[in-house]
Chain A
Amino acid sequence: MSKQLVVETVDLTKAYDGVTVVDKLNLRVEEGEIFGFLGPNGAGKTTTILMLLGLTEPTSGVVRVCGYDSTREPLKVKRITGYIPETVGFYEDLTAEQNLAYTARLNDLAEWLIPDRVGESLDTVGLSTAADQKVGEFSRGMKQRLAIADMLVKMPQIAILDEPTIAIDPEGVNQILDLIKKIAREHNMTIIMSSHQLNQVQRICRRVGIIGKGRMLAEGMVEQLMKDALGGGRFKVEIQLAEVTADIVDRIKQINGVVEVERSGDLLLVGCTQDLRPQIAKAIIAGDGSLIGMKIKSYALEDIYMKYFHEV
């Protein structure tokens, strides 16, 4: 492996009163990558994150963040890790600036550095105009951006975001995702983002881990996972014919880019690597078939996800 491992867990297990929430989880995150941590509610994402930060003790197994054991040296881990909890909160009676300054002080930042650092962070997330506003007046989206600024104040090497886009309107989600991307690039920060919103993870994460019932179901590059999960290619064309003949099936199979053809009743399901509807239509007509309808579906992470969860 060329890049250094930033986060590594070995057989990480957490049980509450005999119920195993995280089960022998092996997670590896490399330096500088944006890692998507996927799973439905209750899969153990938050518990894993809390163990990474040393906020919860694992029942067994090892967590290492930048070489520090999170269980034994939580303070060292917390110094280099920024964390945005799922339900992030601020002191509503304090201004944005005061909230961030408090975080800065808790991180032992020198007093003379604080105003600049806080100003820069607010600038990055586009909240410098609201610096003197009380956080109580902030919208949900603003608070989430403030949470990112709060994380930037300590200049962490790793950022752990727990469901950063939950309960935010589509435009706010875009802003936040762009922001995360930008920060990762500019500060060369490793980012771990948990979510169950697959399309969002897909937009910014190169590598993902899918967790279900506390176990890692799949881990890898998004494209690779798709190939593995969908042997039949990225697109699926659903064709309805008056009558399905072997000739038509053969003709469709011969089209360049068709991976598989599946028959179910009077429906044909064609897996292909790109949108081949025109070619398929031609083939059907050439085969003297009568075409009733044709639909195309593009596969996304969602389908991978569904596939894995059907297996559980």
Chain B
Amino acid sequence: MSVEVKNVTKKFGNFTALDNVNLKVESGELVALLGPSGSGKTTLLRVVAGLEFPDAGNAQVLFYGEDVTTIPASQRKAGFAFQHYALFRHLNVFENIAFGLRVRPKLKRPGEEKIRARVGELLKLIQLEPLAKRFPSQLSGGQRQRVALARALAVEPKVLLLDEPFGALDAKVRRELRRWLRKLHDEIHITTLFVTHDQEEALEVADRVAILRDGRIEQIGTPEEIYDNPATPFVYDFLGNVNLFSGRVREGTVIIGETEFAVEETAGETDTDAVAFVRPHDIRITREANGQKTFPARILRCNAAGPLANLELERLDGGGNFAAQLSKEEFQQLQPKAGEQVFVELKNVKIFSDDFSI
């Protein structure tokens, strides 16, 4: 039982928005579509909603086994929440939520009593009961998005589609709503697909994350899977800050400058040029050299505001700059100063053999 997209290609003129995409969202799952702008994530969402149709070919969109590829949005029963909410300005909160019930064909339309009850339930769910009579223009951004969600849920959709639902909100409200969405999903278990360009949001909220690039799904997996085992340099880079060290790979190690570091999964390459990827928090800084395990560098800048201290360093062998992150304790123990020379150790070095470009 799932919502499934098969072999979907969509072109706008010369631009390929989706390039033979396949995706399966299990029933009750919350999947994030993560990617930079122009990667096709919103187009994919709109294809699932029926607001966009895939190019001719063997493309298929399946809702729980039922082929809905050619069925228009109005008959697909897919709830859609827009980035800018698209609330009906001329209707109050109550009527916005009731809209989907009121436009049902006469035979399936619930009575006024039932509509009242259903909308009341949803208002309770989004915690906006006292604001039922307000117009959208009298609500805050976060409240508007919650109304948009309730409106989409009112029609009991088979799948809930959220297009950058928190994109237009400020950081604090965004974090609150993100947690609220996760909690809501744990309560009502509706199959949900949501688009975002914010990796933090995707990793925090989703059961699985699909990373898109140039109209293709680059990798899909649980947040841990994709964070710990990124399949491509693109995914690695997209999920967080990264330092690049060019060096040579030899038998399970990578040689950067004069120093050798162990790497996982080198796939047996021997003596080839390679780029090593290291996250800033996987860089250890010491005052003493530790034999073959460290290389020297100079600190350019220190910024200790926030829970982590950010350092910018320069390799002494002319290999360029890189960034490091220290915990507050490490920072206070070491007390690094700008201009000082230190030694650097790399952990969790990652090598991608096929394609080094990001």
| A-B complex is real | no
- Give chain A's interface residues, CB within 8 Å of chain B: none
